[in-house]
Amino acid sequence: MRISGGIAKGRRTATKRLLTKNSEGERLRPTSSKVREALFDILRNRIEGASFVDLYAGTGTVGLEALSRGAGRSVFVEPDELRIRTIKNNVLELGFLEKALVAKGRAYEFLQKASSENESFDIFFIDPPYDSEEIEKIFPLLGEEGLVNEDGVVIVEHFFKRHVPEKAGRLKMKRSYRYGDTMLTLYRKADK
């Protein structure tokens, strides 16, 4: 996998070893370069200086690409130790050490902790395993006041046949984009 845009364009981020099943039998399904290009086209006016959360980081390529394209900060949330080491190595090699936080753990736990510490972010990218119930599990937390900045966005990558929530708290679905079997669904906060 390679970064497709910005100052680190063309740099490699993942190896075949990383894309095999982990100790829990989970196989990575990295975001394709076509879908990443589309994601950053959707975010083009929001990425500069933004705080970006790659909630199911996997290889970390999406969060690294956000930094490459001008994000002020990227947070990578991932429970797998090998993937965590790979993300940390990439952050170091690409010169993003000052702008990256690699958080070992599950998405729900990260969101609970961030909420309790009154942290907020501009962009959440959510790409859980397609056959999991993670979206339904974490969306109520994202809908609470505080985690998503007032002008922030949440983008969910999911299988095109999967139903995703219309809303959570003030977060409301605004638009979906289809790329083959993959959908990107965009959420923003509705007016109070």
Distance CA 100, CA 97 (A): 6
CATH code of the domain covering residue 155:
3.40.50.150
Domain that holds residue 122: 33-189
Amino acid found at 81: E
- Domain-embedded: residue 41: yes
What's the average model confidence in pLDDT over 158-177?
Answer: 90
DSSP 111: H
Token code pair at residue 174: 């605004």
Contact 172, 166 (CB under 8 A): yes
Which residues are CB-neighbours of 98 under 8 A, at least 6 positions away?
Answer: none
- Domain-embedded: residue 165: yes
Residue 164, pLDDT > 80, answer yes
What's the average model confidence in pLDDT over 88-97?
Answer: 93
- Domain-embedded: residue 60: yes
- Domain-embedded: residue 15: no
pTM of the model: 0.89
- Domain-embedded: residue 7: no
Which residues are CB-neighbours of 45 under 8 A, at least 6 positions away?
Answer: none
- Domain-embedded: residue 48: yes
Going by pLDDT thresholds of 50, 70 and 90, the confidence category of residue 49 is very high
Residue 30, pLDDT > 80, answer no
- Domain-embedded: residue 8: no
Q: What is the pLDDT of residue 191?
A: 72
Going by pLDDT thresholds of 50, 70 and 90, the confidence category of residue 104 is very high
Q: What is the pLDDT of residue 16?
A: 53
Token code pair at residue 7: 């100052």
Token code pair at residue 145: 């006041």
Domains contained in the chain, number: 1
Query: E strands of the chain, at which residues?
Result: 51-54, 73-78, 100-104, 121-126, 148-159, 167-168, 171-179, 182-189
Going by pLDDT thresholds of 50, 70 and 90, the confidence category of residue 157 is very high
Find the farthest-apart pair of alpha carbons in the chain and give their distance in angstroms, rounded: 47
- Nearest Cα neighbor of 60 from 90, 27, 22 is 90
Distance CA 159, CA 79 (A): 22
- Domain-embedded: residue 77: yes
